[in-house]
Structure 1
Amino acid sequence: MNREYDESAELTHYVWHNYSQLAEDWERHAMRGFAAREKSIAADEPQRRLLAKWSASDDPRVIAALQLPPAEFRRRTAVRIVEDHPNEAIVNRCPQCDRIVRTPAAQQCFWCGHDWHAVSR
């Protein structure tokens, strides 16, 4: 519990961990491109060519996304998912400190330790 709370970072992690299925196809393709770029750093030449082919796209949205830092792309996509899917991508917050908890079903706060299991029974 010594980690600083960063609303934007926590929302991004929460949405990608719990609701990545709501990302659009081109967004998933961009994420594959980021992954291929990361993996190619340590790859030999034949692997680099395969990774480049795997992540290639002529979609202007993917090309533009790959110009962003990966963390910024992930943040923007998480915000879009929450805005575009308010009935599906529900952000679970602690009723005591209002911080984002780990999962949509969580009933205990990692941040303040509040436990609301008994309330739901």
Structure 2
Amino acid sequence: MVKAKYQSVLDLGEELKIQNGDVKEENGQLHIHGTANTQYEKNLLWDKIKEVGGENPSDLVADIKVADTSVYARHTVSSGESLSKIAKHYYKDPMKYNAIFEANRDKLDNPDMIHPGQDLVIPNL
């Protein structure tokens, strides 16, 4: 029954390709373990958990680790994107675009010139 309540969390875990995932239901609690690729993906899972179970769910125990702590996220540029749009997506602040630019100086010469298909590092702030 608890597993059904958190099915959207489990679905998101599959979509994000959470590694070493394990889900068990014991004594009315759902125990979730796994490793997200980046901190951003871990945050997405926690946001979904809070959306379903509230700020401090008593029916869920989650242990989610992060595989790559050297970056906040990795992002492939889509058509129409800018660094400020990407910064707003990840950091909720478009003015943090320069942090992304600086982290990708090996690929970018100008913060106003990014191209679809480029793989960018989204740094930890």
Tell me the TM-score range normalised by the shorter chain.
Answer: under 0.3
- Normalising by the residue count of structure 1, what TM-score does the alignment of the two structures yield? 0.27
Higher helix share: 1
- Normalising by the residue count of structure 2, what TM-score does the alignment of the two structures yield? 0.27
Q: Which has the higher contact order (CA 8 A, sep 6+)?
A: 1
Higher strand share: 2
